[in-house]
Amino acid sequence: MRKLKNEKGITLIALVITVAVLSMISIPIAVNMTGMREFDKYAGFKEDIDILREAISIAYYDKNIENIGPKYEGNKEFLNEKQNGETVKSANDNDVYYAIDVNKVNKNLYVNMEVLKNGEGNKNISSSATTYQGNDDVYIINAQSRVIYYVRGVSYNGKMYYRLNESFSETETSVVAGIAVTGFNKTYVDKYGNKAKIPVGYKLSENEDEQIVSKGLVISDDNGNEFVWVPVQNLTLEDGSSATIDFDRYDFNSEEQGGENTESESTQIKDGSNTDYFYETRNSFETASAIANGGFYIGRYRAGKTNENIETVNEKKGISTYNNVTKEKAEELAENFDSEDEEVKSRLCSSYAWDTTLKFIETTNNEEYLTKNATGISTITTGASEVAVNNIYDLGYNMYEWTTEISSNEKNIYTIRGGVNSAESPITRKQHSNSGDSNIGFRVALFLKVY
């Protein structure tokens, strides 16, 4: 074997330097690995709650969730913790929580939900259990707000997270009247402590009378379209009294309930003047959005159009009402109003949105608005009648409006609300065919993303 001349071994100094350099390199790697593990845990937590929300909204969309699992009687101290400066417990919570039994949820689904990353407790709940006091690796849900919490919580970037709500990272102080919200939907709190979510791209009115939830909080986009917040929450009124508004269908005054429609699993509402009844399957997205966000938005005005683009609707005052349109076209136009925004979805008013709006009006001591007769004069300009309540114009009095509610009448299966003759009021429900008419318009509603 040939021997190399001048061959030398590694020196001690070189060895020390080498070890030091390797140590310096390994520190960021170790830190990054820890950060990755934290992120993976946080991502799994978010994915779990998204899966649970979707599954529960479908399986229990219009049902009480008392049978979703045993009553949770374990650790609740985390509800009083702070998540990015705001109390973890939702303001809409009551005192009843349930541990989510994923097996029971799956029984109400056509396709089983995906496997959860966490929540071993949820996977091992006994079918006969009436209460749960097990370990904290469990997702629980509030009976009233339907907010889902992860009792154990996850740590990410030095903060603890127990439920999904991106508004935690920026509280109501980030909402400035007249300045459009950016990033994600922000929470605004009025002087009575009532909350409203201001969606991305929209701004709170600079008019003080339009900044109070119980009086009709108003927002607008960059194009001047205006919407009014309809609260679905515990509401404090100006006189100091309180009320609770639920996202639901209601029967008012002359209307009466006629049992349950088995197809839609919704209450049949009859008008005393005929034998037809009205019903509607509850939309799971609308329901989840209204409950989780504490409300939704309804167009301040009836939808309008301009000569420049009749395929685009507006929610502005003093423009031509968008009438002579079929129900199907009205639904398409409403959904296209804000179809590309991930933070908010536009829809044609459902009976749930219409009735909850009327309930809001009734609750805020404006009962007479619900029974006041129509003028009998069709208004073809938005907001022209100057009849407004809670900053909302023309829900009745001068024109009908399409909704997504269904009539039992086989020939006239669609439903219009409001009224044009002297015997009608904003409560009015009437069946109609899909044909358009000069005295039928529609209104856009906005439902916000559920984080």
Instruction: Tell me the C-alpha to C-alpha distance, in Å, between residue 57 and each of 103, 261, 360.
Output: 15, 20, 24
CA distance 12 to 94: 69
Q: pLDDT by residue (tens digit) across 149-165?
A: 999 999 887 888 999 86
Q: For residue 330, is pLDDT > 90? A: yes
Q: What share of the chain is helix, strand, coil (3-state, %, to 5)?
A: 25, 25, 50
- The residue-averaged pLDDT of 1-22 equals 44
Instruction: Tell me the C-alpha to C-alpha distance, in Å, between residue 247 and each of 38, 137, 157, 219, 262.
Output: 37, 31, 36, 21, 20
Q: Give the lowest-confidence range in 277-286, 313-322, 435-444.
A: 277-286
User: Looking at residue 33, what is its pLDDT?
Assistant: 53
**CB neighbour class for 426 (10 Å; exposed up to 12, middle 13-18, buried from 19):** buried
Length in residues, the chain: 451
Q: Give the lowest-confidence range in 134-148, 367-381, 412-426.
A: 367-381
- The residue-averaged pLDDT of 431-437 equals 91
**Confidence band of 169 (pLDDT split at 50, 70, 90):** very low
In this prediction the pTM is: 0.67
Q: What is the CA radius of gyration of the chain?
A: 27
Q: For residue 36, is pLDDT > 90? A: no
DSSP, res 282: P
Q: Which residue has the tokens 């402590």?
A: 193
Q: Give the lowest-confidence range in 34-43, 95-104, 300-309.
A: 34-43
Q: pLDDT by residue (tens digit) across 241-300?
A: 999 999 999 988 766 777 788 878 888 888 656 778 999 998 888 988 898 889 999 999
- The residue-averaged pLDDT of 359-383 equals 85
User: Looking at residue 8, what is its pLDDT?
Assistant: 42
- The residue-averaged pLDDT of 11-16 equals 51
CA distance 383 to 447: 23
204 and 219 Cβ atoms separated by less than 8 Å: yes
- The residue-averaged pLDDT of 421-429 equals 86
Helix extents (H) in 75-218: 102-107, 120-123
CA distance 447 to 211: 19
CA distance 286 to 301: 20
Q: For residue 7, is pLDDT > 70? A: no
Q: Which residue has the tokens 């136009």?
A: 333
CA distance 150 to 154: 8
Tell me the average pLDDT of the chain.
84
Tell me which of 93 and 402 has the higher pLDDT. 402
Return the closest-CA partner of residue 46 out of 447, 341, 451.
Answer: 451
User: Looking at residue 9, what is its pLDDT?
Assistant: 47
Tell me which of 301 and 25 has the higher pLDDT. 301
CA distance 358 to 364: 10
User: Looking at residue 26, what is its pLDDT?
Assistant: 46
CA distance 90 to 302: 33
Return the closest-CA partner of residue 448 out of 174, 243, 167.
Answer: 167
Q: For residue 11, is pLDDT > 90? A: no
DSSP, res 247: S
Q: Give the lowest-confidence range in 195-204, 214-223, 379-388.
A: 379-388
User: Looking at residue 20, what is its pLDDT?
Assistant: 52
User: Looking at residue 386, what is its pLDDT?
Assistant: 66
Q: For residue 147, is pLDDT > 50? A: yes
Render 114-139 in DSSP notation, one character per residue. Answer: PPPSS-HHHHT--TT-SEE---S--E
Percentage with pLDDT > 90 across the chain: 44
Q: pLDDT by residue (tens digit) across 107-117?
A: 877 666 768 88
User: Looking at residue 311, what is its pLDDT?
Assistant: 80
Q: pLDDT by residue (tens digit) across 341-356?
A: 778 999 999 999 999 9
Q: For residue 222, is pLDDT > 80? A: yes
